[in-house]
Amino acid sequence: MIGLGFDKFLSRFVKHKAAVLCLFFVLAVIAGGIFAPWLAPNDPNKIELKLKLLGPGGQFPLGTDHLGRCILSRLLYGTRISLGSAFLVMSFSLTIGTAVGIFSAYRGGRIDNLLMRLCDIFLSFPSLVLVLVIIGVLGSGMVNVIIGMILVQWLWYVRIIRSLVLSIKERTFVSAAKVAGTSDMKIIFRHILPNVLPQLIVLSTLDLGSLILHFSGYSFLGFGVQPPTPEWGAMIEEGRRFIRSAPELMFYPGMLITLIVISFNLIGDALRDVLDESVT
Amino acid sequence: MIKEKVMDVEGLCVSLLHRQREISVVRDVSFCLEEGKVLGLIGESGCGKSITCLSLLGLLEKDRWKVEGSVRLKGKELPYLNREKIRRLRGSSVAMVMQNPISSFNPLLTVGQHFTETIRTHKEVTRREAGQIAVEMLLKLNLSEPEKVMGQYPFQLSGGMLQRVMIAIALFMCPHVLIADEPTTSLDVTVQYQILKELAELRDHYRTAMLLVSHDLGVIAQMADEVAVMYGGYVVEQAPSREIFCNPMHPYTRGLMKSRPAFTKDRLNVLEGYPPSLMKRSRGCPFYERCRCARKDCLEFDMKETGATGGHSVRCLLYAGEEEVKMDACS
């Protein structure tokens, strides 16, 4: 993608057939979320107890849940929150992580040491525990879960980006730029950042899947999205009580999460292969 | 012609700070660079050549290296403490050509982007003007089709071409001093010859003072007006080029001269052993262990200049005081 023409990138990516399939799936899901108001056959929050736990067909393509709400509509609207929050967490934590990581690696010395020890301390806790602590302080709710996830996630990126930058910082062309009097800012933005970008793209794609899983997990635990807002994790939680009589309540959102996470992983793997090829 | 001192280095000492220890890497190095002249710096790997170059540019990180001594450029002390000021001097007043041209270019940027980036760092010009300057410079270095070269990525060019580009980038601001750290080591011999020829022409054209670092005696013999031989962080011998090749005084220099391949059937003379490790450097002469004419008092020797006649200075006890030593005795 970088240092490798777009055509070439595309032709190499297409060779990974599973990844292409996954990409289409992800795009379809994203499109479903964006166009939910037009695509959804019913109001996702309209409760009609008379129509509860209907099978698929007719007015409700995937049936209804225990409150008579359209499952398909809820899934479509849920995409907005599940994927949207994951993208939000990713973009914020990646930006913060990249900035701090580059700064830390580039400056080196005491500041670098201090930052890394700080990271060590936070990373020694499982991220679930840390996020739960933050939610405990801020209170539950979607926004607070997102804030908590950003606060924890960027620490991981600092680590990775720092190590990437450290290896590029020692490359001869960086010293050549320094010798020519290039300013630090220019070296960072023109020489270092473009060289770590391919790895960052791979990293963020691979991590998107796990972020979706995590966010749904918090909703499942009841911290994130509050009912009646549709969200995949929350839908699984609501369906949990009907696991014997109506397992499809859990099946649809669960399947969607599984497929999305697998898709992001496969796409990430393919991207890594393609971009690695360009390096060697 | 009046020779003008461009850069004056006095008592340069560089030490590496490692676990509360100071390991001295460059010790008491003094030399001066004159306008339009080339000072050759030779020595084995690890004797402190490259560190000397980097310290001249102020590129050694302060928390790992301790640099002492004075470096004056055109009579003015270089502002090593001010990061911003020294950065502006790099590339404009003091330029450097690096050792390995192929890895000295960012693979993601075109040659033109490298060039304009450096030009725009030092001159306030538009992108187009910078491009014009770049093309002119490339033409001066005998690169054909400079416009095409500007749009190419480093991997599309050969090592020799890249080295020319690097020299062009180094010289566009007409720096007072050009430091060339083994500019031809990674190139093949014909290209090496061309590059050296071009460097010599540019030196005459711009009257740049050059510090040419190399471990290739042939390169030094061809280019240098004056030669400094480094060993174990010291400049052990310094003399005009002809003088040092005809009449080497220090045992190390002599060993170096002898170990040059020649068209004879004799076995090549080699300097036995290795340079002393950085960690083990102690008092006395660093060459003691390998020297054929070492004496006991060499270990107590404080490495002061012992003989300096007619611009030929040497640091060896053999030439200390009135004591006359026969040259043949230890050769």
Across the range B111-133, mean pLDDT stands at: 86
pLDDT tens by residue, B244-265? 888 888 888 888 888 777 777 6
Q: Which residues of B touch A186 (CB under 8 A)?
A: 117, 121
β-bridge pairing B209-214 and B226-231 = unpaired
Asked if the model's pLDDT at residue B208 lies above 80, the reply is: yes
- Distance, in angstroms, between B176 CA and closest chain A CA? 14
Residues of B with CB under 8 A from a CB of A: 57, 59, 61, 63, 87-92, 95-96, 98-100, 103-109, 113, 117-118, 121-122, 153, 166, 169-170
Specify the CATH number for the domain of residue A259: 1.10.3720.10
Give the Cα separation of A116 and B262 in Å (integer).
56
CB contact under 8 A, B90 and A180: yes
According to DSSP, residue B14 is labeled E
Q: What is the pLDDT of residue A101?
A: 92
The answer as to whether A40 is a domain residue is no
Q: What is the pLDDT of residue A22?
A: 93
Return the minimum-mean-pLDDT range out of A200-214, A216-230, A262-276: A216-230
The answer as to whether A206 is a domain residue is yes
Using the Cβ of A5 and the Cβ atoms of chain B, whether some distance falls under 8 Å is answered with no
Q: What is the pLDDT of residue A161?
A: 92
The answer as to whether A24 is a domain residue is no
Q: What is the pLDDT of residue A4?
A: 62
The answer as to whether A1 is a domain residue is no
According to DSSP, residue B289 is labeled G
The answer as to whether A47 is a domain residue is no
Asked if the model's pLDDT at residue B3 lies above 70, the reply is: no
Could you give the percent of chain A with pLDDT greater than 70? 97
Q: What is the pLDDT of residue A26?
A: 93
Across the range B41-51, mean pLDDT stands at: 84
In degrees rounded to 5, what are phi and psi of residue B17?
A: -90, 115
β-bridge pairing B38-42 and B65-73 = unpaired
CB contact under 8 A, A190 and B117: yes
CB contact under 8 A, B107 and A3: yes
Q: What is the pLDDT of residue A28?
A: 93
Give the Cα separation of B114 and B106 in Å (integer).
8
Asked if the model's pLDDT at residue B322 lies above 50, the reply is: no
pLDDT tens by residue, B182-195? 888 777 888 888 88
Across the range B288-315, mean pLDDT stands at: 76
Number of domains in chain A: 1
CB contact under 8 A, A173 and B106: yes
Q: What is the pLDDT of residue B326?
A: 42
Using the Cβ of A2 and the Cβ atoms of chain B, whether some distance falls under 8 Å is answered with yes
Give the Cα separation of A253 and A72 in Å (integer).
10
Highest mean predicted confidence (pLDDT) among A147-156, A177-186, B249-258, B286-295: A147-156
CB B200 within 8 A of CB B56: no
Give the Cα separation of B194 and B199 in Å (integer).
9
In DSSP terms, B240 is beta-bridged to B226
The answer as to whether A29 is a domain residue is no
Burial B66-97 (b: 16+ CB within 10 A, else e): bbeeebebeeeebebeeeeebbbbbbbbbbbb
Using the Cβ of A177 and the Cβ atoms of chain B, whether some distance falls under 8 Å is answered with yes
Higher pLDDT, B164 or B270: B164
Looking at chain B, which residue has its C-alpha nearest residue A197? Answer: B108
The answer as to whether A200 is a domain residue is yes
Token pair of A189 as six digits: 């933005």
SS3 per-residue string spanning chain A: CCCCCHHHHHHHHHCCHHHHHHHHHHHHHHHHHHCHHHHCCCCCCCCCHHHCCCCCECCECCCECCCCCEHHHHHHHHHHHHHHHHHHHHHHHHHHHHHHHHHHHHHCHHHHHHHHHHHHHHHCCCHHHHHHHHHHHHCCCHHHHHHHHHHHHHHHHHHHHHHHHHHHHCCHHHHHHHHCCCCHHHHHHHHHHHHHHHHHHHHHHHHHHHHHHHHHHHHHCCCCCCCCCCCHHHHHHHHHHHCCCCCHHHHHHHHHHHHHHHHHHHHHHHHHHHHHHHHC
Q: What is the pLDDT of residue A58?
A: 76
The answer as to whether A240 is a domain residue is yes
Return the minimum-mean-pLDDT range out of A64-78, B34-48, B217-231, B250-264: B250-264
Q: What is the pLDDT of residue B308?
A: 64
Dihedral sign for Cα A241, A245, A251, A253, please.
negative
Which of A179, A184, A188 best probes binding to B when mutated, by most B CB atoms within 10 angstroms? A179
Which residues form the domain of A223? Answer: 78-279
Which residue is listed with tokens 């003072």? B209
pLDDT tens by residue, B215-231? 788 888 888 888 998 88
* Distance separating the N- and C-terminal Cα atoms of chain B: 39
Look up the ipTM and state it: 0.78
Q: What is the pLDDT of residue B325?
A: 47
Supply the pTM of this predicted model.
0.77
Task: Provide the number of CB pairs (under 8 Å) joining chain A to chain B.
Answer: 74
Q: Which residues of A touch B137 (CB under 8 A)?
A: none
In degrees rounded to 5, what are phi and psi of residue B101?
A: -60, -30
Looking at chain B, which residue has its C-alpha nearest residue A1? Answer: B108
In DSSP terms, B68 is beta-bridged to B13
CB contact under 8 A, B95 and A179: yes
CB A153 within 8 A of CB A163: no
Q: Which residues of A touch B63 (CB under 8 A)?
A: 108-110
